[in-house]
Amino acid sequence: MSLHSKEAVGVRYTGWAALGRDPQEDTVEYNCPYCGERGMKSARRTHDQYHFTDGFLQDLQGEMAACRSCRHSLRIAPVVMLHDQDEKRRFEGVFSTELVSSN
Ligand SMILES: [Zn+2]
């Protein structure tokens, strides 16, 4: 058990997902690694801080967040940018193990 913040994989939707949405509402979604609650925060980092890694545009440095449910602080890393349904499906296949390992 480490004193460092736990990490969660974040997802930032763009492209199709941003259609019909306020363009100012650019959010990163994640599942809290402490309580499993779904959360979101405003994306702080610009697109040029994302780089292609393992077939996805990712921000490996990530962002800090605090869970609104259990108040733990956590680190969202990597943040994966997804452009369409196809990428979303591929992402869920690749990251499914990380997404469910929440304790
Ligand atoms: Zn939580």
Single pTM value for the model? 0.82
Cβ neighbour number for residue 74 with a 10 Å cutoff: 23
Ligand 1 midpoint to CA 47 (Å): 27
pLDDT category of residue 1 using cuts at 50, 70 and 90: very low
**Would you state the pLDDT for residue 94?**
87
Instruction: Report residues near ion ligand 1: CB below 5 Å.
Output: 32, 34-35, 37, 67, 69-70
User: What one-letter code names the amino acid at 31?
Assistant: N
Question: Cα 73 to the chain's mean position, in Å?
Answer: 14
pLDDT tens digits, 9-61: 999 988 765 667 676 678 999 999 999 999 999 999 998 999 999 899 999 99
Residue 65 has pLDDT above 90, yes or no: yes
